[in-house]
Amino acid sequence: MKVTVVGAGNVGATCADVLAYREIANEVVLVDIKEGFAEGKALDIWQKSPINLYDTRTTGSTNDYSKTAGSDVVVITSGLPRKPGMSRDDLIKTNAGIVKTVTENVIQHSPEAIIIVVSNPLDVMTYQAHLSSKLPRTKVMGMAGILDTARYRAFLAEELNVSPKDIQAVLMGGHGDTMVPLPRYTTVGGIPVTEMIDADKLDAIIERTKFGGGELVKLMGTSAWYAPGSAAAQMVEAIVKDQRRVFPVCIKLEGEYGIEDCYLGVPVILGKNGVEKVIELDLNEDEKALLEESRKHVRAVMEALDNMQEA
């Protein structure tokens, strides 16, 4: 299995490293626009192989997409990260151009690839990659839900003093402040979380999760990479190993949840064909209202992208 990761920065290099040391792919190609940058990162990861004991071949390329030919999965992380005081949507202008060019290059050499978008604003960059690749919607998806859910699970594990492994959860909606938490689908070793934690503490954790990306931007002056890179690698693994894992993933909705033509995070089954199935939960009225808020927000940013492309 061959996987290309475009963008050898913080998230891209972390993703490539996880793909290599966990031997998720046989071959990983890193691509970046900065001269020598991807080659250097790939060489460093390759030189770690005798220490960490893996044989995934990692190589790099400065914008030469012929090296990516025949990739089974392509992860797009190229683009600007936000700085303190910015929202993810502030990145749209620069990152839309980058994601468009990168997708066109990728698809020229790997027309059968499955694309995982990471660049922000996530839901709308997934839309951009879908437009530019012209692939079926099941083969173009965005990574956000696994990350948001992981933050929520980590915060809960800390509060309850239990292993994060035993916390199962699902979040839906856009990757941003309007994400939709679903506490009634959160369990701790199979026990509903509401039996383990007070409502006000759970509310505080949900609020912290919504702004989880911003918390890290404030601390570091740039956005997160360890959890995002690992989350993207986990999606790659589900696809290349046809694991049929159930994850929240950003995909274009075509009638599911009563929503047409909007890119939102929803639980799906992920396997060798990409999104094998969108899982439709029976949401209650409060959850439907939160999802509608999220839809409105993402639609507005999608329309901003449409206007930019017409201009």
Ligand X SMILES: O=C([O-])CC(=O)C(=O)O
Ligand Y SMILES: NC(=O)C1=CN([C@@H]2O[C@H](COP(=O)(O)OP(=O)(O)OC[C@H]3O[C@@H](n4cnc5c(N)ncnc54)[C@H](O)[C@@H]3O)[C@@H](O)[C@H]2O)C=CC1
Residue 9 near which of ligand X, ligand Y, none (CB within 5-8 Å, type-dependent) = ligand Y
Site mask for ligand X (CB under 6 A), range 271-290, x = bound: --------------------
265 is in an annotated binding site: no
Q: Which one of the listed residues 109, 130, 175, 297 is annotated catalytic?
A: 175
224 is in an annotated binding site: no
Distance between CA atoms of residues 278 and 184, nearest Å: 19
Instruction: State yes or no: residue 147 binds ligand Y (CB under 6 A).
Output: yes
71 is in an annotated binding site: no
Instruction: State yes or no: residue 252 binds ligand X (CB under 6 A).
Output: no
Residue 217 near which of ligand X, ligand Y, none (CB within 5-8 Å, type-dependent) = ligand X
Rule CB under 6 A: choose which of 12, 183, 228, 265 binds ligand X.
228
Tokens of 75: 């992860």
Rule CB under 6 A: choose which of 68, 110, 126, 223 binds ligand Y.
223
CB of 216 to ligand X, least distance (A): 6
Instruction: State yes or no: residue 223 binds ligand X (CB under 6 A).
Output: yes
Distance between CA atoms of residues 135 and 48, nearest Å: 35
130 is catalytic: no
Site for ligand X in 84-143 (CB under 6 A): 88, 120
Site mask for ligand Y (CB under 6 A), range 26-65, x = bound: -----xxxx--x----------------------------
Contacts of 303 (CB under 8 A, 6+ apart): none
Residue 80 near which of ligand X, ligand Y, none (CB within 5-8 Å, type-dependent) = ligand Y
CB of 192 to ligand X, least distance (A): 27
CB of 214 to ligand X, least distance (A): 6
Distance between CA atoms of residues 219 and 36, nearest Å: 29
Instruction: State yes or no: residue 101 binds ligand Y (CB under 6 A).
Output: yes
88 is in an annotated binding site: yes
Contact 253, 259 (CB under 8 A): yes
Instruction: State yes or no: residue 224 binds ligand X (CB under 6 A).
Output: yes
Segment near ligand X (CB under 6 A), from 40-48, 57-65, 179-187, 216-224?
A: 216-224
Distance between CA atoms of residues 267 and 180, nearest Å: 12
Binding region for ligand X (CB under 6 A): 81-82, 88, 120, 147, 175, 213-214, 216-217, 223-224, 228
Q: Which residues bind ligand Y (CB under 6 A)?
A: 6-12, 31-34, 37, 77-82, 91, 95, 98, 101-102, 118-120, 122, 143-144, 147, 175, 222-225, 228
